[in-house]
Every structure is written in structure tokens, then in C-alpha cells.
Amino acid sequence: MTISYEKFGLKEVINASGRMTILGVSKVSEAVLKAQQFGGEHFFEMADLSEKTGAYIANLLKVEDAQIVSSASAGIAQSVAAVIGQGSLFHAYHPYTEKITAREILLPKGHNVDYGTPVEVMVQQGGGQVVEAGYANMCSAEHVEMMITDQTAAILYIKSHHTVQKSMLTVKEAAAVAKSHQLPLIVDAAAEEDLFKYVAEGADLVIYSGAKAIEGPSAGLVIGKKTLIEWVRLQGKGIGRAMKIGKDNILGFTQAIEDYLAKGSESGVSMKTRLVPFIEGLNKIKGLTAQVVQDGAGRDIYRGSVQVTGEKSAKEVIAELKEKNPAVYTREYQANNGIIEFDIRSVNEEEMNKIVQRLKEIM
């Protein structure tokens, strides 16, 4: 049976938006596909597969334990349920019971963002109650500490380009507060590229997306303290049952982690080099001014930033880029300022030429 865009009446997509969930996040390698195929063609004792792959990944990452889940969002919900339930099977079965009194999850106000769904939705799904610390433009260690009560279950830190970057406490500072009050620190680092940094900085649980920087299949990873990971794993008998991941993606993701550690991801230097002819082509189009910019959160990611100054607005150009086949998706966060960003990590030279040609037609 042949699989194609045409079979289902789908448009091809050029993904210049980045590793975004709405576009299927990323492509997987042949090695990952083979691991997924092996998983799909064989049977396993699923509890054993979960524990053994977790132990294998933990050894690769030099952490106490690891658990593969269905997504980074599931990782947040199950981690919250874990720290609230404290390893109790009753609490896994009844995560919203009134018998649990410590449900508060402290979160810097500037971290309570919508990344496709609000962070607080995942916290609530795990049985937690968000308590915001600090202000939208500022949160210090003192702001977090003053909100701690006997009902506090954990501190949650969102490391993301979606969150407020300025005047925020660091992961190390959040870890120091958590440790001084004997609370776990959960770090959601879904799209981050460093799989070692946040545990080293004192986080007790760290959550990654499988399909973003790691370029695996749809999956999530929770790493950290062994006891806490065991509590996360226990949620498979509770809310995690509705978020279970298949054997094919468990093995595919494990392979993706191994490959990622061996090969890494594209460097910023490489991105800047590939962007040169793209930027030159865009600057030849009347009404567009293009330059290379670094990721706003300081990651080693470089993008094409295009200021739209013609008769059409940036929002109109973005809409027209999506209309035809292939549909071109861009980063739209600065459209109100007349700026369109192009993330080329998943875009090849041929696709960049298609984008330049499409923009010539639109402008």
C-alpha cells in the first residue's frame, strides 16, 4: 500500500516554523524507523520494557533513573501526580481525592504560559493547583520562597522560549529554594538540547520532548531521582493509563536518544552558513528586509528574520504562505511587529528556494 499526501488529500508542508507539535514536530532517521519496526513486529512484557529502557537511558545520561512517557505534556501531568501522590497506589487510583492536602505547585508567574495548551492545564490534570510566584516580568528566589506553605508539593520551572526570559530566577536558584524546603524541583525542558544540564543544576525531575531536539517519534522523557521516577512510573496505573505510549515508540525513542548523544544536533555555525544564500535571496525582494538572528532564549539556534515593509502586512504574508501546496509555515510570534521568522532546522536548500520563490509571488 502506497502512502502519499495525495491518498488522503493532504497538503505538503515546508516546516520553517521549528519543531512544532502542530506540524508533527520533526522527522525521524532510518535507524529510529528500524527500531520502531522491531517494536511493532514483536511482543514484550510492557512493564519490563518500560523499566529496562528507562535503566538503559539512565545509564546513558548518568542519572538515577528515567521513564519514557507519551509526550512532554504527559510528563508534566504524571510528574505532578507523582509528587502529590508520594508513591501511594491509592493516590494513583484517586489523584483528586480530598485526602491529599499538599497539592500546590509553585510556578513563576512568567512561566505560566500557553505552549499549545496552558501549563496549568497539565498541572491540574495531574491533580495539582498552580500557585504563581512573583510577577509577569520578574520572579526571584525570594518571590518563590515567600509562597511556600505546608500545602506546597513541588516547584515547577518551565525552561522555554515561550516563557519570560528577563529578571527570572535560574534553575540553580530554584533548586536551592526547593532543597532548603525539602521540596522536589520539576523542570520542564521540553525543547531544550542539553540532556545533562538541569539535573546537574539540582533539578529532581527533568522533562524532555522526544520529537523536538532529540528528533525521535512522539514521546516524552522524565529523568531524575530514582524514587521520584518510580512514583512517575506508578502513574501508569492512574492518569498515565490514558497517556500510555506504544512499544514501537518506546524503542524508537530510545534509539533516537542514543543517536542524539553520539551525533548531536545541527550547530549554530552550520545554520548561519545555510542561511546566507536564503537571506541574500530574500533581500532581493521588494518590501522585505532579512537578517540572521539568534533564538530569543539564547539557544544555539539561528533563524532568518524578515521585516515586512510592503503594502501587505506580515500577517497577510503569513496567511498567503500557508494557502498553496506546499504550505509554508513560519514562526509568527512577532507578526504584530511586522516580522516573520524562518527556522531552517528542518528545511533543505530546495525548500528554501521554494520559499524565496513563493515570497516573490506574494510580494
What's the domain range around 96? 44-263
Within 8 A by CB and 6+ apart from 13, the residues are 23, 326, 327, 328, 329
Task: Provide mean pLDDT across the span 145-152.
Answer: 97
Mean pLDDT estimate for the chain: 92
Per-residue pLDDT at 247? 95
Paired strand residues for 220 = 69, 209
**pLDDT tier for residue 90 given thresholds of 50, 70 and 90:** very high
DSSP for residue 339:
E
Check whether 187 has a pLDDT greater than 80.
yes
Provide, rounded to the nearest whole percent, the portion of the chain with pLDDT above 90: 76
Task: Provide mean pLDDT across the span 126-148.
Answer: 96
Task: State the number of CA atoms in the 13 A half-sphere of 228 facing the CB.
Answer: 25
Q: What is the CATH number of the domain that holds 256?
A: 3.40.640.10
Residues 203 and 300 in one domain: no
**pLDDT tier for residue 185 given thresholds of 50, 70 and 90:** very high
Which set of grid coordinates corresponds to residue 219? 514521546
The last residue of a domain, from among 211, 231, 263: 263
The last residue of a domain, from among 229, 244, 263: 263
Furthest C-alpha separation in the chain: 66
Residues 270 and 254 in one domain: no
Task: Provide mean pLDDT across the span 111-132.
Answer: 95
Check whether 18 has a pLDDT greater than 60.
yes
Match 509577569 to its residue by C-alpha cell.
136
DSSP-derived 3-state class of residue 161: coil
The last residue of a domain, from among 219, 234, 263: 263
Q: What is the CATH number of the domain that holds 312?
A: 3.90.1150.180
Provide, rounded to the nearest whole percent, the portion of the chain with pLDDT above 70: 97
Task: Provide mean pLDDT across the span 221-225.
Answer: 98
Q: What is the pTM of this model?
A: 0.85
Per-residue pLDDT at 193? 87
Match 522536589 to its residue by C-alpha cell.
184
Check whether 255 has a pLDDT greater than 90.
yes
* Chain segment 266-307, per-residue pLDDT in tens: 788 999 999 999 999 999 999 999 999 998 777 788 999 999
